[in-house]
Amino acid sequence: MPQAWLWWCLSHLTVAALGTWLLRRYALHRRLLDHPGERRSHVVATPRGGGMAIVAALLSGCVAAGVFWPAAGPILGWFAAGLVLVAGVGWWDDHRPLSARLRFAIHLLASVMLGWLVSHHTGNLWDGVLTAMASVVLINVWNFMDGINGLASSQAALAALAFAAVVPGAWAWAGLAVAAACLGFLPFNFPRARIFLGDGGSGALGYVLAALLALTVASGQVSWWISWLPLTAFLVDAGFTLLSRMLAGQRWWEPHAQHLYQRLARRLETHVPVTGIYFAFSVAAVCLYVLIRHDATWLQVPGALVWGLGATAIWFFLRDGLRNS
């Protein structure tokens, strides 16, 4: 089994790495570039759309898994259909901007499909509702937080590994595939960005992480109460930045550079330590997630609540410090 896992991971890593290299050449040829600006955190024009290589690796994995486990074919096909919807609308938007309403409608459709898949196989309507909500949220959160080198892909890889670590052996293959595909892309995006994920890649990662989150709950190894812990850094930064913009009467749906990670990158004048800080924080979150996953609910809830409140306090402390200094 360890040898099979190794080949499984290497295949996803290789497809993602080769695909990213090819997509970079394609983006340069088509002039699909993100140019510097006051709403962006980079200083040179950089190709976008590299995240589609991660999508290609995961779709290849779905096909391979369907061949080896035919009984899982319908589940994999339904999941892959949603993934294609999310990645496809993002890929189109990377080429020719689409309206926010159309993008959201397609994200919602894919999320409802994922929610139906989960509720159909768990027999619990609320599992499906929560999965659909998580998918809509994470698709947009990963899009918002994909703004500096290595951040979105490293956080996705770490979360995927966390999910893989807590589920039964056969279920872990899904998390390993996502982590390996992200690691295949990462050298092209960190420490120096030679290509960005693009909307297709970032949205797809959010969708996939929602699926993995639901998988851990469906496996019976994790409760919904703590399922979000590996994603704390992104949820807090994206959530409170969005809330702050809404309360200030700003056009919150438009691109901006007000997230904490963007403020830190401007202050430090480099992306690497910021990505490292977020990674270290998420490692701590994953450790808590693994440690308390088998505790009684009355212990899990306050533990998760204290962690969330602590993360919120850190966010406000750093945000206010960066404002006032």
Burial class, 168, CB count within 10 angstroms (exposed 0-12 / middle 13-18 / buried 19+): exposed
Cα–Cα distance list, 130 to 75, 84, 176, 195, 260 (Å): 18, 21, 23, 33, 27
Q: What are phi and psi of 240, to 5 degrees?
A: -75, -30
Q: What are phi and psi of 134, to 5 degrees?
A: -60, -40
CA atoms of 129 and 65, how far apart (whole Å) = 26
Q: Which two tokens stand for residue 1?
A: 């089994």
Say if residue 93 carries a ligand binding annotation.
Answer: no
Q: Which of 111, 171, 115, 173 shows the shortest CA–CA distance to 138? A: 111
Q: Which of 80, 84, 66, 163 shows the shortest CA–CA distance to 117? A: 80
Q: Which two tokens stand for residue 78?
A: 């339904």
SS3 34: strand
CA atoms of 206 and 212, how far apart (whole Å) = 10
Cα–Cα distance list, 292 to 61, 229, 276 (Å): 31, 11, 25
Question: Phi/psi zone of residue 150: left (φ > 0), alpha (ψ -120 to 50 degrees), beta?
Answer: left
Say if residue 320 carries a ligand binding annotation.
Answer: no
| Binding-site annotation: residue ranges for Mg(2+) | 143, 199
| Binding-site annotation: residue ranges | 143, 199
